[in-house]
């Protein structure tokens, strides 16, 4: 396990601990507007970090993917809670109606349906994230993910809600001038960190990055929230709770800046959409190129493997063809075919090839292609598809591969190596042939599969 992986895992553990503590601390504070919402927000961040931890320590890749996908329960809720918190923080409680809550939760609910039924329609992702094991930990590789239509809907919706909450916080800071400026800037800064790190895996901005930066980014934002809590006591001094209704009247000079901030909001939203579109198109082309390169590498590997296998079979035949001891036995046998001892010795040679070299039938043939000896014993005549190669072998004197052919006896497909056996006393004179039949279902077809 590398030190980078250890550091990454430690950052997730710290994020889980810090967000869990902030949730507990916020829940114990007086129920001012937004405090309970922030507690639920911090709790979701902590649970999101917890699922990441469980994903990394899973026993199998399938379990790691399950825990990784469970994170989207919380990633769908966090933007909604953040916007609700920002509205309460800024004193816009009248906007937090039941209809707004129900409407804002509609897309997160649909997201869960799309996520867990993705195998039926592929609208969530067309290809899931990958994982590589570093030591005992599974590390997610989001660059392998091919997002579907609904993944992009979920992502843009979440980013827009985060951005809207940031704008509300900044409007509040502008309106309050110096009174709550420090805490508002820390809160907005924390949200911007989370927003920035979320953009990286969503749009694959760092395709060669080893780690997903979302959880460490949440950890950094939690540190900024903690500074706002303990330095400026924002859970006890909420601008929305301190202001009276007159602050929100049209006569308030701070309201004049609202149009400017709305313009900034839509400018950022358009920028996110543009980055998303360009990044998605770039990601699609990169993924296609990556898959093409992988397929090319696999094809090259298969071709090289098949070439090596073919060469090994021809080398088997060449070894037998150039073996003077075996050639002397064959010559003696054809001069005295009734010699039982010669038959037994040649039979042993043939049997050894059948047993150790993965040939299912081995024959000793005369120059006309008739079987003299074989293993197993008592084989039917040689296939005509192989016999037609014999004249070329006798003429060239080379080991020859009779490529795929269908045997008439059982209608199955085979290959055969034809090996010329030369007369030891007369150079270049072929006295016999050996056929080594190959059943492709034993090795060749499984290798291609």
Tokens encoding 326? 């075996």
Per-residue pLDDT band for 445 (boundaries 50, 70, 90) equals: confident
Tell which residue, 179, 238, 246, 245, has the closest CA to residue 33: 238
pLDDT single digits (tens) 130-158: 898 888 899 998 888 888 888 988 888 89
Per-residue pLDDT band for 256 (boundaries 50, 70, 90) equals: very low
Element (H, E) at 190: helix 181-203
Tokens encoding 358? 């993965």
Element (H, E) at 435: strand 430-438
Q: Provide the pLDDT for residue 17.
A: 95
pLDDT single digits (tens) 150-188: 898 888 889 888 988 888 888 877 776 666 778 888 888
Tell which residue, 50, 19, 35, 114, has the closest CA to residue 81: 35
For domain 3-301, give the CATH number.
Answer: 1.20.1070
Whether the per-residue pLDDT at 394 is higher than 80: the answer is: yes
φ and ψ of 206, to 5 deg: -125, 80
Q: Where does CATH 3.30.450.20 sit in the chain?
A: 322-448
pLDDT single digits (tens) 43-84: 999 999 999 999 999 989 999 999 999 999 999 999 999 999
At which residue do the structure tokens 């010329």 appear?
A: 420
Q: Does the model's pTM come out above 0.85?
A: no
pLDDT single digits (tens) 98-129: 777 788 888 899 999 999 999 999 889 988 89
Q: Provide the pLDDT for residue 251.
A: 42
Q: What gap in Å lies between CA 75 and CA 70, rounded to an integer?
A: 9
CATH superfamily of 322-448: PAS domain (3.30.450.20)
Helix, strand and coil in the chain, % to nearest 5: 65, 10, 20
Percent of the chain topping pLDDT 70: 88
Those residues whose C-beta lies under 8 Å from the C-beta of residue 338, and which sit 6 or more positions away, are none
Q: Do 78 and 108 contact (CB within 8 A), yes or no?
A: no
Q: Provide the pLDDT for residue 203.
A: 76
Q: Do 217 and 198 contact (CB within 8 A), yes or no?
A: yes
Q: Where does CATH 1.20.1070 sit in the chain?
A: 3-301
């Amino acid at each position: 396990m590398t030190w980078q992986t250890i550091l990454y895992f430690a950052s997730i553990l710290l994020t889980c601990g810090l967000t869990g503590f902030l949730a507990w601390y916020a829940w114990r504070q007086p129920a001012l507007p937004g405090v309970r919402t922030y507690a639920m927000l911090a709790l979701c961040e902590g649970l999101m970090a917890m699922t990441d931890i469980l994903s990394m320590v899973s026993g199998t890749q399938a379990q790691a993917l399950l825990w990784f996908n469970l994170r989207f329960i919380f990633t769908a809720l966090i933007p909604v809670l953040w916007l609700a918190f920002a509205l309460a923080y800024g004193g816009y409680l009248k906007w937090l109606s039941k209809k707004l809550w129900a409407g804002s939760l509609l897309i997160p609910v649909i997201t869960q349906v799309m996520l867990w039924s993705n195998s039926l329609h592929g609208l969530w992702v067309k290809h899931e994230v990958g994982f590589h094991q570093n030591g005992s930990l599974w590390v997610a590789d989001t660059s392998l993910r091919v997002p579907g239509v609904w993944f992009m809907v979920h992502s843009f919706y979440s980013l827009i809600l985060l951005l809207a909450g940031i704008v509300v916080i900044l409007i509040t800071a502008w309106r309050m001038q110096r009174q709550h400026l420090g805490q508002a800037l820390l809160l907005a800064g924390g949200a911007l960190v989370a927003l920035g790190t979320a953009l990286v895996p969503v749009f694959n901005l760092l395709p060669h990055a080893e780690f997903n930066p979302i959880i460490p980014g949440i950890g950094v934002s939690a540190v900024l929230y903690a500074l706002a809590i303990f330095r400026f006591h924002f859970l006890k001094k909420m601008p929305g709770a301190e202001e009276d209704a007159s602050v929100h009247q049209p006569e308030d000079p701070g309201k004049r800046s609202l149009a400017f901030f709305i313009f900034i909001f839509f400018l950022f939203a358009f920028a996110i959409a543009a980055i998303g579109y360009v990044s998605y198109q770039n990601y699609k082309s990169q993924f296609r190129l990556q898959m093409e390169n992988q397929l090319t590498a696999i094809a090259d590997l298969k071709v090289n493997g098949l070439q090596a296998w073919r060469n090994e079979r021809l080398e088997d035949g060449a070894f037998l063809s150039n073996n003077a001891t075996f050639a002397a036995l064959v010559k003696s046998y054809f001069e005295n075919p009734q010699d039982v001892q010669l038959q037994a010795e040649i039979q042993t040679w043939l049997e050894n090839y059948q047993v150790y070299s993965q040939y299912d039938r081995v024959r000793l043939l005369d120059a006309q292609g008739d079987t003299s000896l074989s293993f197993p014993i008592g084989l039917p005549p040689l296939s005509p598809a192989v016999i037609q190669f014999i004249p070329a072998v006798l003429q060239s004197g080379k080991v020859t591969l009779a490529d795929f052919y269908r045997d008439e006896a059982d209608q199955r497909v085979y290959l055969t190596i034809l090996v010329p056996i030369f007369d030891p006393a007369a150079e270049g004179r072929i006295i016999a042939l050996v056929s080594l039949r190959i059943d492709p279902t034993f090795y060749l077809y499984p290798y291609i599969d």
